Amino acid sequence: MAWNHRVMKQKDGDEDWYQIHEVYYKDGKVSSYTKNGIAAGGNTLEELRAELIRMIESLDKEVIQYEE
């Protein structure tokens, strides 16, 4: 199953709230995503850097509306 980081928007009271989630795809369409936004991490500094780069790149993709 393919996945990537994506920015998701949801409501926090009257305000919009944006977080980065892992989004999973089936047949090119969103099939699921993490319930909570994710934090960057890695076993090495290089892995952490790669994770942060993927997160930054998600800012250039279309925002997905979070739905429970």
Residue 55: DSSP 8-state = H
Amino acid present at 55: M
What is the value of pTM for the model shown?
0.89
Q: What digits encode the pLDDT tens for the residues 12-58?
A: 999 999 999 999 999 999 999 999 999 999 999 999 999 999 999 99
C-alpha span between 60 and 53 (Å, rounded): 12
Provide the residue ranges of all domains of the chain, joining segments of one domain with +: 2-65
